[in-house]
Structure 1
Amino acid sequence: MPKGLFDNKVAIVTGAGSGIGAAIARELGREGAVVVVSDVEAKSSEAVAEEIRKAGGRAEVCTADVADAGAVEALVDFAVKECGGLHLAVNNAGIGGPSEKTGDYPLDGWRQVIDINLNGVFYGLRYQIPAMLQSGGGAIVNMASILGSVGFAKASAYVAAKHALVGLTKTAAMEYATEGVRINAVGPAFIDTPLLSKNLDEETLGQLASLHPVQRLGTAEEVSALTCFLLSERASFITGSYHLVDGGYTAP
């Protein structure tokens, strides 16, 4: 069999039950990784894991709410104990949150977005990094957004969390650069996933597409391609950086 990019590697992907996370989990599986598929929805996680198995890969399921530090610690422990270690991680789980001006933003909505989109990534790093050091090193990708570098009206919590995520990524990467753990962030623009297609009408989707110079939404597979490159040894000299996959959104 041809050698995969991630043979003999164990990977965790959070928010892997659909969309970008599912695409990343499937690509990691195709490239030989043992994939721990994690999401708050066990049913969707199992469906993605079964796709990986049917394609000839190995996948395990571990349900986890990333806003719960104990659940994230248990997820990493699961990977180490059940799969033999941890070498790769994608902290992808996230939510959009309420759409309100900052002066009207609901406090519970703010807390939920920060808990999942920022604290959840910190918890991931907090437990993934020690496990990777014990496994001889590894690579982590934190899923940011174009909104990690620009603003967007009525999305203060999301924008704040994604900006902070980029700073967290850079700091952690500097700390472990000489210890064999690389950490980067990816910033997608608007991607054609169930999160959008199930909640927005065709007119709104068209308006979002028009914001990109390429005049379309991105695909989950396009985000996965960049993410998996950064996880691979092909990106061995890349750490502490923030990579956009945005169809030109931030170019103007």
Structure 2
Amino acid sequence: MDTKSPFSTVLITGASSGIGEAFAHVAAGEGHPLILVARGEAELHRVRGVVIARYAVPVSIIVHDLSVPGAGDALANELEARKLDVDIIINNAGFGLVGKASELSRQDQLKMIDLNVRSLADITLRFLPQMIAKGRGGVINVASTAAFMPGPNMAVYFASKAFVLSFTDALHEETRGTGVTFTTLSPGPVETGFQRRAGMKQARALSRLIPKTAMAVAQAGWAGFKEGERLVVPGTMNKITAYALRGAPRRMILPVIRRAMGAAKAK
């Protein structure tokens, strides 16, 4: 797969801020045309303006809420109508909520599943056959270190990211030798708008780990993808913590995570 080719078009969801916006700069910096998707029109236009001012690449924007029913069909129809081809997908759109599952809005939690799981799987599966047919392309699915453990007080979010990790691992193996690359990007704490939407305190209150910037995370994910890596966990301490928690007995780690996530909830 020639990921440096300026003819490889990169579609990025959740591209209006944070890691998605950072990915736009990383990919555009290597000459890739972009298709930026998010629900915030003003922010998408802002990102597009900054990117095209810095890089000589075409940038298309699609304003769309990927959590709504039929989102995948609407996105595919829009791409077809504009005659936009997709070679590389970065599924970054997602959100979390802090609190007990019994106390959070059921509809909001189901919407989280629709965005973090259903939309990601839908977009991936729609474009996978054509990638395999072309013998090139790939997908970066953005998960989290939350994917390595259950998350009391953030149960649906942690579970949704566990799906992303499992799903992407499996597709990485299924597409071995096809020219198509699947990479899971699992960052630890990152200072973005995620915390505000989730109802969390600042990321530094969640861990002694040093949060990575959105740009550092995007750069690590992109570099790993180009190397064909199955999994990228930016930061040595994030790697150690993620794998240690994954292997630890759940009876030990569940109370620890419950307390940590309870303390992370904004008052």
**TM-score interval (norm. to shorter):** 0.7 to 0.9
Which residue does 1:48 correspond to in 2? 47
Give 2:19's aligned amino acid: I
Q: 132-141 or 216-225: which moved more?
A: 132-141
SS at match of 1:185: strand
| TM-score normalised by the chain length of structure 2 | 0.79
Q: Which residue of 2 aligns with 1:21?
A: 20
Residue 257 of structure 2 corresponds to which residue in structure 1? none
Q: Report what 1:89 is aligned to.
A: 89
Pairwise CA distance, 1:194: 2.8
Aligned equivalents of 2:203, 2:173: Cα separation in 1? 38
Instruction: Indicate the residue corresponding to 2:212 in structure 1.
Output: 218
Q: Please list every run of at least 4 consecutive aligned residues from structure 1 whose deviation after the TM superposition is greater than 6 angstroms.
A: none
**Corresponding position of 1:149:** 148
Q: Distance in 2 between matches of 1:69 and 1:246?
A: 36
Aligned to 1:65, the other structure's residue is in SS state coil
- Alignment deviations for residues 171-200 of structure 1 (CA, whole Å, 9 cap, x no partner): 222222233221110111110113336866
The Cα of 1:31 is off from its aligned counterpart by: 0.8
Q: Take 2:130 and 2:61, find their aligned partners in 1: how far apart are those partners?
A: 18
- Superposition deviation, residue 112 in structure 1: 1.3
Does structure 2 retain, via aligned residues, the 8 Å contact 1:139–1:183? Answer: yes
Number of residue pairs the alignment of both structures matches: 238
SS in 2 for 1:248: helix
Compared CA separation, residues 137 and 205, structure 1 to 2 (3 A): closer
1:192-207 equivalence runs, <5 A: 192-196=191-195, 204-207=202-205
SS in structure 2 at match of 1:249 = helix
Matches within 5 A, 1:183-194: 183-194=182-193
CA contact (8 A) 2:151 2:159 kept: no
Aligned pair partner of 2:223 in 223, 229, 235: 229
TM-score of the superposed pair, with normalisation by structure 1: 0.83
Identity %: 20
C-alpha spacing 1:194/1:106, structure 2 compared with 1 (3 Å): closer
Judged with a 3 Å threshold, the aligned counterparts in structure 2 of structure 1 residues 227 and 74 are, in CA distance, closer, same or farther, namely: farther
- Which residue number corresponds to residue 61 of structure 1? 61
Task: Name structure 2 gaps, 5 residues minimum.
Answer: 242-267
Amino acid corresponding to residue 95 of structure 1 in structure 2: F
1:244 aligns with 2:233: yes
Structure 1: how far apart are the matches of 2:24 and 2:180?
A: 20
In the alignment, is the contact (CA less than 8 A) between 1:139 and 1:182 conserved in 2? yes
Q: CA deviation at 1:114?
A: 0.8
> Following the alignment from structure 2 to structure 1, what is the Cα–Cα distance between the partners of residues 74 and 175?
23
Between the aligned partners of 2:160 and 2:114, the Cα distance in structure 1 is: 9
Structure 1: 5+ residue stretches without partners: none
**How big is the shift at 1:250?**
5.0
Distance 2:157 2:196 in 1: 19
SS of the residue aligned with 2:223?
Answer: helix
- Cα pair 1:85 1:131 within 8 Å, conserved: no
Q: Cα distance, 1:207 vs. partner?
A: 2.0
Q: 1:78 to 1:102 in 2, by over 3 A?
A: closer
* Residues 221 and 232 in structure 2, CA contact (< 8 A), matched pair in contact too: no
1:53 and 1:176 map into 2 onto residues whose CA distance is 33
Q: Cα RMSD (Å) of the superposition? A: 2.6
Q: Deviations over 1:68-100 (max 9, x none)?
A: 464334434545664652211100000112x22
8 Å contact from structure 1 (residues 37, 60) kept in 2:
yes
Cα 1:200/1:96, change in 2 over 3 Å: closer
Matched residue SS, 1:251? helix
One-letter amino acid matched to 1:43: A
The residue type paired with residue 10 of structure 1 is T
* Aligned partner of residue 65 in structure 2, secondary structure: coil
Q: Is the Cα–Cα contact under 8 Å of residues 189 and 203 in structure 2 kept in the other structure?
A: no
